[in-house]
Amino acid sequence: MTGPLTTDTSSLAAARRHRMELLAAIQGFERAIAAPARDPRWRELVTERLRALREAFGEHVVVTEGPEGLYAELLAHAPRLASGVDTLVREHGQVLAALDRLYQRVSTMDIERIRAKASDRLLQLARHRQRGADLVYEAYATDIGGET
């Protein structure tokens, strides 16, 4: 095992960039569900932002799980973190399924139920992102950032 990295690797740099893009999609979805529900475009806007969030999270999965992805690098650098990586990979499937279920039901659920389910998904995403940041920090003693 090697010591902490002093410069970004390509997969770590990609993860940093993507983390900020994912955060922007999360914030866009948060703004959409917080907008006044009497707006005739509310449901349409929520659906658009949810689709964008789903796409951004799907890209997160590719950036982290791919053969040249962040998790492969983490495991090469710090094999002791395999359990944490396995947890994050398992969460990817859970988050994607939950986002897909919400997307399929937005057109039929009442607004308060949409907001409740959306809040659940946002909390799930926040926890996942924090676990990922903690794992990267543990591997490299570096913060991947993306929070403002």
Domains and CATH numbers, the chain: 10-140 (1.20.120)
pLDDT exceeds 90 at position 3: no
Average pLDDT, the chain: 90
Question: Distance between CA atoms of 24 and 56, rounded to whole angstroms?
Answer: 9
Please report the pLDDT score of residue 144 as a whole number.
57
Q: What is the mean pLDDT of residues 13-25?
A: 90
Cβ atoms of 14 and 70 within 8 Å: the answer is yes
- What are 125-144's pLDDT values in tens digits? 999 999 999 999 898 875 55
What φ, ψ does residue 142 adopt, rounded to 5°? -145, 150
| pLDDT number for residue 11 | 82
- The better pLDDT of the pair 5, 120 is held by 120
For 82-126, write each residue's pLDDT tens digit.
999 999 999 999 999 999 999 999 999 999 999 999 999 999 999
> What pLDDT is recorded for position 49?
98
Percent of the chain with pLDDT over 90: 74
Confidence band for 24, pLDDT divided at 50, 70 and 90 = very high
For the cut 80, the answer to whether the pLDDT of residue 80 exceeds it is: yes
